Amino acid sequence: MLKQSLLKKSFLALAVSSVGLMSLPTMADTYVIDTKGAHASINFAIKHLGYSVLTGRFDKFEGEFTYDPAKPEASTVNVTIDTASVNSNHAERDKHLRSDDFLNVEKFPKATFVSKSIKVDNDDKDEFDIIGDLTLNGVTKSVTIEVEKVGEGKDPWGGYRAGFSGETEIKLKDFNVKMDLGPASQVVKLELEIEGIKK
């Protein structure tokens, strides 16, 4: 009887343990954004006086994201941008962009984005909105980035990668940008190409 009781208890403990393991949530993988290999970019576009579109980028930034394809809504993103690295392919203009008329890089050398939540498209888990806090020019505002997964898989060097494209728009006045170039130049479009290498 004692042996039977012990066997029953052991079986019950094993069953409970198995159920517990089955119910454990899957862990999202962490990826480092591949800026070293220049497989990521943060680009911007803004209308110039309503007559043309000025484009540029930030050359220096870093960050990480977590991602689980089975549960993309649990993903996270954290990015830091060196604002002095702004590059519009025009030295004098870039000097002006670094001044307190625009990015005020001496006082605020870094911009950051930290995700707060993710809303997945009901019909396509490869498309989602990332809602997070953008801190720029000393101001923190909530922004929504529309994201589409580009792909994921092994690379030729034994690593594993995942990549995404995203875009959002921000109003300059929301981030205390002093310079006013008229009503056609109030909104900046940000375009993001992010490829990460799994840790």
Q: Which fold has domain 26-198?
A: Lipocalin (2.40.128)
**DSSP letters along 144-198, please?**
EEEEEEEEEEE-TTS-EEEEEEEEEEEEGGGGT------GGGSEEEEEEEEEEEE
What does each C-alpha distance from 158 to 33, 99, 121, 196, 197 come to in angstroms?
Answer: 17, 44, 32, 14, 11
Average pLDDT (24-51) is 90
Write out pLDDT tens, residues 79-130: 999 999 999 999 999 999 999 999 999 999 999 999 999 999 888 889 999 9
pLDDT one-digit tens code per residue, 129-138: 999 999 999 9
For the whole model, what pTM was predicted? Answer: 0.85
* CB burial of residue 42 (10 Å; 0-12, 13-18, 19+): buried
Supply the pLDDT for residue 27.
Answer: 75
